[in-house]
């Protein structure tokens, strides 16, 4: 089984930096290779949702743009072509990520195509955005059961019955799962039998809670209180500082976590791991502050914090690159940060180094093309876009962006026929992409 952990971490990092387009592209590329990577499918849902919330675009316009793929998906699903339908639904959800019906149909198509991990990821996302949708809750429960977790499956069916107490399917599933869940808990107890050797029962309970993958807020606050008491007796204990920082981060308080990691770093000067963690927390804290400013309608403060965030991202990327100068992924990241700040010459210098790594070449050529295009060097931009396009034989999201920009360059050079040929390749697969339809009409 192929391990996609590093690829997913790369996409998650892009999403954390609010580079949602890049994160989405990475998740989509991974799902092209293996449609049943649940973590990638879940990450794609989160990234699409975050981008949608950031842009706050018109829902109506999004529906118009995605009308073609949605209609095609429904036709394909009826014909039993589940994998093809899933691809069309993902295309539609790119601009309409919160559509309950489309998400539900996507999950059903993935399930029918045998992609149970991806189906579970979609159904779980649906239960987050539509917590009172009984069909979504039942489907999540069914997939959780298929994936071997009857306890959590039962929880979803219980929620489905809260939404619709008369749902017969949910009632039957709850009855069947109650026995399975009880047996699962019994087996868990047998595996954990060694805990009986722990004399202190409170410690056993605490250990169990700390080992759970998903701890409740109450559990986290209880553990934080215990650590704070211990820390008061030994205020120079770095392990306690970091343990408290872990919990505060889970409680979505990056500012408090930052203070503790900063203090820990003062005791462990020169620790690269702590320095990296501190930078990551500072970025999180700034993003949270930006969100607060946006919510309060303080655009001036949000802009100030945004500029501060960009500068911090630049400093952090450079710091990490100094530690591993041969890391082409970081080199590419630095180039992209510089590009986003309008520092095109510096960005191009970094990206020209990144293209040497075959794993990053396509993305680096793409970013380098954008640098040259911004500087007005259209011949160089065209060359880099063409190199980037070779890595995308199909017309995926990245290919569409490349073809669109090649069309823009051709128009700028006065070559209308060539421009139309680039736009036509997009038009054939996605009539709603940007203003391609209008350009096709204008360039008849």
Single out the residue of 85, 79, 133, 134 nearest to residue 108, CA to CA: 85
Q: Is 384 exposed, middle or buried (0-12, 13-18, 19+ CB in 10 A)?
A: buried
Q: Are 401 and 37 in contact (CB under 8 A)?
A: no
pLDDT given at position 181: 55
Q: Kindly calculate the radius of gyration of the chain based on its CA atoms and give it in whole angstroms.
A: 25
How buried is 325 (Cβ within 10 angstroms: 0-12 exposed, 13-18 middle, 19+ buried)?
A: exposed
Tokens of 75: 């036709």
Tens of pLDDT along the chain (444 residues) come to 456 788 888 999 998 888 999 999 999 999 998 898 999 999 999 999 999 888 755 444 444 444 567 788 888 888 888 888 899 999 989 988 988 889 999 999 998 888 889 999 999 999 888 888 888 899 998 888 887 777 788 888 888 887 777 778 888 888 877 766 555 444 434 444 444 444 444 444 444 444 444 567 788 888 888 888 888 888 888 888 988 988 888 888 888 888 898 888 888 877 777 887 888 888 888 888 888 888 888 889 988 988 888 888 888 888 878 877 888 888 998 999 899 889 999 999 999 999 988 878 888 999 999 999 999 999 999 999 999 998 877 788 888 999 999 999 999 999 999 999 999 999 998 888 889 999 999 988
Q: Which of 364, 345, 363 is nearest to 353 (CA)?
A: 364
What is the DSSP code (8-state) at residue 393?
-
Give the whole-angstrom CA distance, residue 202 versus residue 273. 33
* Model pLDDT, residue 366: 93
Cα–Cα–Cα angle for 401, 27, 96, rounded to 5 degrees: 70
| Domains of the chain: residue spans and CATH | 216-315 (1.25.40.10)
327: left (phi over 0), alpha (psi -120 to 50) or beta: beta
State both tokens at 297: 């309608």
Tell me what pLDDT residue 56 has: 59
**What is the DSSP track for 257-278?**
HHHHHHHHHHHSTT-HHHHHHH
**pLDDT value at position 192?**
43
In angstroms, what CA-CA distances link 116 with 15, 39, 111, 145, 370?
24, 12, 5, 10, 38
Sign, Cα dihedral of 378, 403, 6, 16: positive
- Please, are residues 392 and 362 in contact by the beta-carbon 8 Å criterion? yes
Q: Which tokens sit at 389? A: 């396009």
**Contact (Cβ atoms closer than 8 angstroms) between residue 109 and residue 82:** yes
Rounded distance between C-alpha atoms, residue 410 and residue 422, angstroms: 9
CB atoms within 10 A of CB 266: 12
Using CA atoms, how far apart are residues 413 and 376, in angstroms rounded to an integer? 11
CA distances, 271 to each of 141, 257, 266 (Å): 44, 17, 10
Distance CA 407, CA 330 (A): 30
Q: Where are the beta strands (DSSP E) in 45-120?
A: none
pTM greater than the 0.75 cutoff:
no
End-to-end Cα spacing for the chain: 50
For 72, 106, 285, 300, 302, the CA distances from 293, given in Å and listed in that order, are 41, 35, 12, 9, 5
User: In 3-state terms, what secondary structure has residue 216?
Assistant: coil
């Amino acid at each position: 089984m192929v391990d996609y952990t590093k690829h997913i971490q790369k996409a998650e990092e892009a999403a954390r930096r609010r580079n949602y387009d890049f994160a989405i592209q990475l998740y989509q590329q991974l799902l092209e290779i293996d449609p049943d990577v649940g973590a990638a499918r879940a990450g794609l849902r989160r990234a699409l949702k975050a981008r949608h919330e950031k842009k706050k675009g018109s829902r109506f316009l999004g529906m118009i743009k995605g009308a073609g793929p949605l209609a095609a998906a429904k036709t394909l699903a009826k014909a039993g072509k589940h994998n093809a339908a899933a691809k069309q639904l993902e295309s539609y959800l790119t601009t309409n990520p919160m559509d309950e019906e489309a998400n539900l149909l996507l999950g059903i198509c993935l399930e029918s195509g045998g992609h149970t991990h991806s189906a579970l990821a979609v159904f779980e996302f649906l239960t987050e955005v539509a917590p009172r949708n009984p069909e979504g809750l039942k489907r999540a429960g069914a997939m959780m059961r298929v994936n071997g977790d009857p306890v959590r499956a039962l929880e979803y069916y219980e929620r489905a019955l809260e939404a619709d107490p008369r749902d017969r399917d949910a009632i039957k599933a709850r009855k069947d799962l109650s026995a399975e869940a009880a047996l699962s808990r019994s087996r868990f107890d047998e595996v954990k039998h060694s805990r009986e050797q722990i004399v202190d029962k409170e410690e056993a309970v605490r250990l169990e809670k700390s080992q759970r993958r998903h701890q409740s807020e109450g559990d986290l606050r209880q553990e934080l209180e215990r650590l704070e008491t211990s820390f008061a007796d030994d205020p120079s204990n770095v392990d306690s500082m970091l343990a408290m920082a872990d919990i505060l981060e889970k409680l979505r308080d990056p500012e408090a976590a930052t203070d503790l990691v900063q203090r820990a770093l003062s005791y462990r000067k020169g620790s690269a791991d702590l320095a990296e963690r501190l930078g990551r927390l500072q970025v999180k804290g700034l993003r949270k502050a930006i969100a607060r400013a946006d919510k309060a309608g303080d655009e001036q403060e949000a802009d100030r914090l945004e500029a501060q965030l960009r500068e911090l991202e630049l400093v952090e990327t450079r710091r990490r690159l100094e530690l591993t100068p041969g890391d082409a992924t970081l080199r590419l990241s630095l180039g992209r940060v510089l590009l986003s700040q309008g520092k095109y010459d510096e960005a191009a210098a970094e990206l020209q180094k990144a293209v040497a790594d075959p794993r990053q070449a396509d993305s680096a050529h793409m970013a380098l093309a954008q640098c040259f295009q911004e500087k007005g060097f259209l011949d160089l931009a065209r060359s880099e876009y063409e190199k980037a396009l070779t890595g995308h034989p199909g017309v995926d999201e990245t290919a569409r962006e490349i073809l669109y920009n090649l069309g823009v360059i051709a128009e700028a050079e006065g070559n209308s026929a060539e421009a139309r040929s680039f736009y036509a390749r997009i038009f054939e697969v996605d009539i709603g992409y940007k203003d391609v339809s209008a350009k096709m009409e204008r360039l008849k």
